[in-house]
């Protein structure tokens, strides 16, 4: 089934975001690829999309989601290009890990600004521009926003805030716009593999042994959850959809 919608995927130069952008383009949607600084990688994502589905179906807009002016310019560019915006996927994220007693203000502020303030700004600007009903916002959270973890006080706090922010937005923006959260578990991306040393066979085996579905997740698993929320889940809002192979049950 083809869908004539315009989707912004923040932080889509690599990892989950890049897969979401490419796979959503496969469904007939027009896609806005966003990055703050990884322009070369983002250009490659756009090229892969346009080579497959046409040059008019994807654009790249660089914007730091933590900066209001840059986000406004991104949305203005999207409206000028496509005339509307239907879906916002808040995927952009940043990790600056460190022990709690050594984490400085810059590490704290940068991660909170990108992972929590960014989705807030993007959602506001989306809501102000989306016309009619049927709008969708999907926030990409993390299980550690509930469980916490060592050396990630900034990241975990931001993701915890994002989960609650989604509930607040869902109440305020309904029924015009639905807002849901997708919370991945351990997903096989370069960032996760490196951060948790999962390229080491022993570490990888130990990690997978604790996951009931006996494997790491893939970005495709996240795409399928997003596709569900964009499709038949029209009566869902304010919900948190866990995609983690049973590693964390809530």
Is 148 part of a structural domain of the chain? yes
Is 115 a member of any domain?
yes
The pair of three-digit structure tokens given for residue 90, joined into one six-digit string: 């808040």
pLDDT of residue 1: 42
Establish if 247 belongs to a structural domain: no
- Does residue 206 sit within a domain? no
In a domain, 92, yes or no: yes
Task: Determine the 3-state secondary structure of 136 from DSSP.
Answer: strand
**Spatial contact of 125 and 66, defined as CB atoms under 8 Å apart:** no
Closest by CA position to 136, among listed 179, 101, 103, 174? 179
- Tell me the residue length of the chain: 250
State phi, psi for 132 to the nearest 5 degrees.
80, -155
The CA-atom distances, in angstroms, between 147 and each of 95, 157, 159, 186, 250 are: 17, 10, 11, 13, 10
Rounded mean pLDDT of the chain?
95
Task: Specify if 100 maps to a domain.
Answer: yes
155 catalytically annotated? yes
Q: Which residues contact residue 27 at a Cβ distance below 8 angstroms, ignoring those fewer than 6 apart?
A: 1, 2, 3, 227
Quick check: pTM over 0.75? yes
pLDDT digits (tens, 9 = 90+) for 98-113: 999 999 999 999 999 9
* Percent of the chain surpassing pLDDT 70: 99
Q: pLDDT band for position 249 (50/70/90)? A: confident
User: Number of structural domains, the chain?
Assistant: 1
User: Whole domain around residue 37: which residue ranges?
Assistant: 6-187+220-242
71 inside domain: yes
**Residue of 75, 155, 186, 223 with catalytic role:** 155
Task: Please report, for the domain that includes residue 75, its CATH number.
Answer: 3.40.50.720
Is residue 192 a part of any domain in this protein? no
């Amino acid at each position: 089934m083809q869908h004539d919608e315009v989707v912004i995927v923040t932080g889509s130069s690599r990892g989950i975001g890049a897969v979401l952008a490419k796979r959503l383009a496969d469904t007939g949607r027009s896609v806005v690829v966003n990055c703050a600084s990884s322009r070369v990688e983002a250009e490659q994502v756009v090229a892969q999309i346009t080579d497959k589905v046409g040059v008019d179906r994807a654009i790249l807009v660089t914007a730091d989601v933590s900066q209001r002016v840059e986000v406004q310019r991104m949305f203005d560019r999207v409206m000028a290009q496509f005339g509307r915006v239907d879906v916002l996927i808040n995927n952009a994220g940043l990790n600056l890990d460190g022990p709690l007693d050594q984490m400085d203000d810059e590490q704290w502020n940068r991660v909170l600004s990108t992972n929590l303030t960014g989705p807030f700004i993007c959602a506001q600007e989306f809501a102000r521009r989306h016309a009619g009903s049927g709008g969708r916002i999907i926030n990409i959270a993390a299980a550690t926003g509930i469980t916490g973890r060592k050396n990630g006080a900034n990241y975990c706090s931001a993701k915890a805030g994002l989960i609650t922010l989604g509930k607040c937005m869902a109440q305020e923006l309904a029924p015009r716009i639905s807002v849901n959260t997708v919370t991945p578990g351990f997903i096989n991306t370069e960032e996760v593999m490196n951060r948790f040393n999962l390229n080491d066979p022993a570490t990888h085996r130990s990690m997978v042994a604790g996951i009931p579905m006996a494997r790491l997740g893939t970005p495709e698993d996240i795409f399928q959850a997003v596709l569900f929320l964009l499709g038949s889940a029209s009566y869902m809002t304010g919900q948190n959809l866990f995609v983690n192979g049973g590693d964390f049950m809530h």
